Copies of this chain bind each other. A is one copy, B any other.
Amino acid sequence: MALNVYLAGEIHSDWRADVIAGCADLDITFTAPVTDHEASDDCGVTIMGAETSNFWHDHKSAKLNAIRTRLAISNADIVVVRFGEKYKQWNAAFDAGQAAALGKSLIVMHQGEHQHALKEIDAAALAVVTSAEQVAQILRYTLTGNVPH
């Protein structure tokens, strides 16, 4: 048994590295969106030419990023979505919706302050956690049946 796990959501902390480090000995392939904020915002116009309006500037990049994210979500067995403390993070919720509709196992990671606002997404998840360590423990349990001591 091997796992393909997509790590969606917040890109301003090291949580992805923490999850991956916690699973270093397990047969898991991790994927993620492009986490270089500038590249993610400007890839479209850089490759396909400048736009005069913000809307089309963003549109071109968002579609390029969709090539990667749609593929990663559709190939994933498990989608982990982390909601950070800041920003609207609607793309995180959008990824969670895609994952739910495709029948992926969904793990949601957020702090308690967002609990009420995230209740619909939590209700679609198979696990709701607050830390990268818990995500790693769940992935380990899924693959090996071992629980932490």
Q: Which residues of B contact A64 (CB under 8 A)?
A: 126-127, 138, 141-142
Main DSSP-derived SS at the A contact region: helix
How far is it, in angstroms, between the C-alpha of A81 and the C-alpha of B55 when the chains are bound? 18
CB pair A67–B126 under 8 Å, yes or no, is yes
The answer to whether A88 touches B117 (Cβ under 8 A) is yes
A7 within 8 A of B: no
A33 to B40, CA, bound (A): 33
Instruction: List B contacts of A137 (CB < 8 A).
Output: 47
Q: Could you tell me if B34 and A105 are in contact, using CB atoms closer than 8 angstroms? A: no
How long is the Cα–Cα vector from A137 to B131 in the complex, in angstroms? 36
> Which listed residue, B63, B72, B98, touches A101 by the CB 8 Å rule?
B98
Query: What residues of chain B lie closer than 8 Å to A12, measured between beta carbons?
Result: none
B114 touches A58 (CB 8 A): no
Contact of A63 among B58, B100, B115, B127 (CB under 8 A): B127
Q: Known: A88-B114, A117-B88, A120-B62. Is A147-B95 also a contact (CB below 8 A)?
A: no
A contacts, CB < 8 Å to B: 1, 3, 31, 34-36, 39-40, 42-44, 46-48, 52, 54-56, 58-72, 77-78, 83, 87-103, 105, 114-124, 126-129, 134, 137-138, 141-142, 145-148
